[in-house]
Structure 1
Amino acid sequence: MTQRTITHALRLAAFLLAACAAGAHAEDFGPANEIRVGAYFVHNNTKADDLSGPFTPAGINIRVGDSTTPYLAYLRNLDTHWTLELAGGVPPTVKTYGKGPDKVGSVPFNGQEVATAKWFSPTLLIDYKFMEPTSALRPYVGIGVNYTRFYDLRSTPAGDGANGGPTRVSLRRSIGPAGTIGLSYQLTREIDIVASYSLARVNSRYRSDTAGDIRTTSIRFNPQAAIVAVGYSF
């Protein structure tokens, strides 16, 4: 996470707070709050440098699997078009697989589940809704900031075998830009259904420790999420 990224994130957060304050004086435009519940279908288009460190053969890499998890969001309508959205999901257990040679020494590696981790990854967005509130169908776009913290990281038996013994793994937290595009359909004044596509920049530094042998790589997760949800406005 660079200083430039942090600066941009802080500026965007300030803009979102200012927008929220301005929205407090908006005229009556219907329910001000909305809760959404649904499902996240997350695809990680992972790109990583080859692992480096002691006794590490060339071409050792990793791939992060996809996940599905419950989706939760709170939205605050600022006026007829602008909405502040805090979105997230129940932290999923994400699996990491070996990518590279079929074996490391005599241990199977390519395609083997080598580690797992949980992700806490909320996103704060400012959304612009097209059309008027009287329209049942309203497309929208949004931009914001994603924060991702990795925890409960574990090396699997296959990962320990490839690393040469019991291994501890870690990933740095990430702050980066995020965006969304979606469509809501209003069934009643209080209920709508939503479908959207979101992406975020989630970059991290992977580190493993096997009896003092440190191996590292940089990972760009590039998560892309399809979301379907039901919203309740109040």
Structure 2
Amino acid sequence: MKLRNIVLSLALICPAVASAHQAGDFFIRGGAALVRPTGNSDNVLGLGSFNVSNNTQLGLTFTYMATDHIGVELLAATPFRHKVGLRSTGTIATVHQLPPTLMAQYYFLDNSSKLQPYVGAGLNYTTFFDNKFTHTGREAGLSNLRVKDSWGYAAQAGMDYQLTDNWMLNASVWYMDIKTKVRFNTGSDTHSIDTKVNPVVFFLGAGYRF
């Protein structure tokens, strides 16, 4: 009886430890996603490579834990808007893109740990839309902007910190292999520029487990 009373007393006194990810869990993370392009392009009309600006949007990830250590995750976001320029012209165009990405993940620690580091690898599809030359671009004689959609690999590293049984904090970094062709016209001439966007994506947010 004494031992039983001690166990019951400890259970009442000590706060419950938040359990981490387990097989069968489904959770959503949401937060700020900063896309920072790191690539370049072929020479554009003798004026150098395209310069593509950073952009921050709402990022969302949806994760299912197939086992205690293996997860499957889908990345989604609100559309990213990038300014595109050249060395001597300033911004000549704006480009919108969405990069849905499917990842297989490995979580290193067992589910008794509040801290859950992980890595992932998978496939990215990036679609470009609502691509327009600015007034500066049109004044330079550029028209009919088209940007080809892209398929490529993706990799990530991240960390969750479990606050409660349901809530967690998350920080992660992604790399996406995004290669595209940018096509446009100058008068009757058509130009096709091989372009590597290859962004690093920084994500910081919170998650909820169902």
TM exceeding 0.5: yes
Change (3 A) 1:60 1:30: closer
Shift of 1:30: 6.2
Check whether the contact 1:31–1:233 (CA below 8 A) recurs between aligned residues.
no
Greater Cα radius of gyration, structure 1 or 2: 2
Q: Deviations over 1:3-42 (max 9, x none)?
A: xxxxxxxxxxxxxxxxxxxxxxxxx936620011101011
Which secondary structure state, in structure 1, belongs to the residue aligned with residue 50 of structure 2?
A: strand
Residue of structure 2 in register with 1:187 after alignment: 163
Q: What RMSD over aligned residues (CA atoms) do the two structures have, in Å?
A: 1.5
Which of 71, 75, 78 is equivalent to 1:87? 75
What are the residue-to-residue correspondences of 1:25-40 with 2, within 5 Å? 29=22, 32-40=25-33
Q: Are 1:138 and 2:116 an aligned pair?
A: yes
Paired with 2:23 and 2:105, the residues of 1 have a C-alpha distance of: 17
Residue of structure 2 in register with 1:43 after alignment: 36
Q: Deviations over 1:141-170 (max 9, x none)?
A: 0000000010000000111122x25x1101
Find runs of 4+ consecutive structure 1 residues off by over 4 angstroms.
none
Paired with 1:186 and 1:29, the residues of 2 have a C-alpha distance of: 12
TM-score by length of 2: 0.86
Q: Which runs of 5+ in 2 are unaligned?
A: 1-20
Q: Deviations over 1:161-202 (max 9, x none)?
A: 22x25x110111100000000111000111100001100100
TM-score by length of 1: 0.78
Instruction: Figure out how many residues of one structure are paired with residues of the other and give that number.
Output: 190
Paired with 2:85 and 2:208, the residues of 1 have a C-alpha distance of: 39
Residue of structure 1 in register with 2:11 after alignment: none
Q: Using the aligned pairs only, state the percent identity.
A: 29
Paired with 2:41 and 2:165, the residues of 1 have a C-alpha distance of: 46
Q: Deviations over 1:29-57 (max 9, x none)?
A: 36620011101011101211012xxxx4x
Residue of structure 2 in register with 1:3 after alignment: none
Paired with 1:120 and 1:141, the residues of 2 have a C-alpha distance of: 22
